[in-house]
Amino acid sequence: MLVKWINAMALSFLLLPFVSIYPASANPVKGYDELIPLMVGKNGNYNTMLETIKSSQTIMLKEYLNKQNVPSIMKRYFNFRAPLALHQLNDRYLAVAFDAETMVQNLKSSAVWILLFKITAPGTVAYAHEFVTYETAEQIQQYNESPNGTLCEHFWDALKIKCNAAAWAKSNTQGRESIVEGLVSEEKLQSELSTKASISHYHKASDITSGTIQEKFIDDAICRDSELAAAIANVGKGKGATAAVVTSVALQPAIGRITQLELKSKEIATLQAEVMELKKTVVQLSQLLKGVSRLNNDILFNGVNLHIVNGTGSTEGGTNGLGNLVVGYNELKSGSSQKSHSGSHNVVIGKNLTYTSYGGLVVGEANTIKAPYAVVSGGFNNRASGKYSCVGGGQLNEASGDYATVSGGLTRKADKNNNWVGGDKSSPK
């Protein structure tokens, strides 16, 4: 069987140069730019339809391999080269013919692959998971001689899809029962057969003049009024509507809309939850900022205390450079590192200041406090390094004793505990 298949493909390769694959009675197209507008009309989106076609081609190849049971050892190359023609079978089904290329054992061969599409809504077309392949010279010749008739026969046998009068009139099929009998007047039939008629071409109900459609050719998605009334009456009585009344195909657009609504509902629920969280945050911020107001460039704290802490749980709980009240840009003294600002719970006013302990006050320029609760209240380049020590201004003064005080002056030193030195320009005797 495999050898016969390969031989047939080889023969096809030899004969195809002499066989046309451009059917005269189909609607020819030159590329996707001509095909897609005919498929979706003015309501469709070109890029979306192109993605649908490409995806359909990929799906068709997988379906074909499964259907033909092609051995995995056979390295077969498939390629859709370009669209050839468009067949409008009826007002809901389209068939698109593609110029294709196959390769068997490194032998290239041309083919015609035809995919069936269904119009699910104005401007929306979906792959119907049915296809026809013409791969031998004989098959392609048969398609060329009666493209619409061949397709109508195939899709009627496979899916009971009925071609309209225009499609059947274009075929040379003999001995087949007509799908439409006396439904369209001769004038309207000629209009429908016009090669200028597009996919989005419609007739009014008043165009139907006479005739009766046989029941077996009535679409399953259509039901009589009596059948619909019976189905509605049976709702809730344990009796299901038959496929003749409601089919999954007919419900697909509604199911799609329901799915979209469910997704939107989930999005809305998520947004509502986020809004609730934001409302809680707003309430918390309102409580936090109660008593805080702004007047032009001023921030006012009314009826509250302002606490600045470093997070250790205690004023003397250790230093980490946090919990300080800094007025100014907190510049570092030249040659100093960030360690010179490692203290906590200090009031810092000025520039180039050093504070490495806690509970102190340092004001001025280039002044330093290096012990707990030490104070330099002003001046330049003064230093308080004793616990509870204080320098009250001047320059180059130092209080290194615990509880010691220097009250201004120049180069004054209080280096003993509880020592006090008044300000002048000479060292104490």
Per the CB < 8 A criterion, the answer to whether 375 and 391 are in contact is yes
Q: What is the CA radius of gyration of the chain?
A: 45
CB atoms near residue 357 (< 10 Å): 21
**Per-residue pLDDT tens digits for 185-225:** 334 444 444 444 444 455 555 555 555 555 545 555 566 66
CB atoms near residue 189 (< 10 Å): 15
Scanning the structure block, which residue is given the tokens 């439409």?
Answer: 180
Is pLDDT of 303 > 50?
Answer: yes
CA distances from 97 to 24, 47, 133, 146 (A): 13, 20, 9, 13
User: Which pLDDT score, from 0 to 100, does residue 237 have?
Assistant: 57
Per the CB < 8 A criterion, the answer to whether 91 and 205 are in contact is no
Is pLDDT of 161 > 60?
Answer: yes
* Measured distance CA(32)–CA(80) in Å, rounded: 12
Which is nearest to 423 in space by CA: 385, 404, 399, 397?
Answer: 397
Provide the b/e sequence for 258-289 (b: ≥16 CB within 10 Å). eeeeeeeeeeeeeeeeeeeeeeeeeeeeeeee
Residue 355 is given by DSSP the state E
Percent of the chain with pLDDT over 90: 40
* Measured distance CA(429)–CA(347) in Å, rounded: 34
User: Which pLDDT score, from 0 to 100, does residue 349 have?
Assistant: 98
Helix (H) or strand (E) holding 422: strand 420-422
Which is nearest to 104 in space by CA: 150, 73, 133, 61?
Answer: 73
Which is nearest to 365 in space by CA: 330, 398, 335?
Answer: 330
User: Which pLDDT score, from 0 to 100, does residue 345 have?
Assistant: 97
Q: Which pairs with CB-CB distance under 8 Å and at least 24 residues apart come from 108-111?
A: 108/13, 109/9, 109/10, 109/12, 109/13, 109/16, 109/135, 110/12, 110/13, 110/16, 110/21, 111/12, 111/135, 111/140
Contacts of 412 (CB under 8 A, 6+ apart): 394, 397, 398, 406, 421, 422, 423, 424, 427, 428
**Cα-Cα-Cα-Cα dihedral sign, residues 105, 106, 110, 114:** positive
Strands 354-355 and 361-365: unpaired
Is pLDDT of 114 > 80?
Answer: yes
Which is nearest to 389 in space by CA: 364, 409, 410, 368?
Answer: 368
**Cα-Cα-Cα-Cα dihedral sign, residues 150, 153, 156, 159:** negative
Report the mean per-residue pLDDT for the chain: 78
Helix (H/G/I), strand (E/B), else coil: 88: strand
* Measured distance CA(192)–CA(366) in Å, rounded: 97
Q: What is the mean pLDDT of residues 360-364?
A: 98
Residue 35 is given by DSSP the state H
Is pLDDT of 176 > 70?
Answer: no
Per-residue tokens: 381: 């380049």
Helix (H/G/I), strand (E/B), else coil: 216: helix
Percent of the chain with pLDDT over 70: 68
**Per-residue pLDDT tens digits for 305-342:** 999 999 999 999 899 999 999 999 999 988 889 899 99
Q: pTM for this one?
A: 0.39
Helix (H) or strand (E) holding 376: strand 375-376
Amino acid at 203: H
Lowest mean pLDDT among 73-77, 140-144, 283-287, 351-355: 73-77
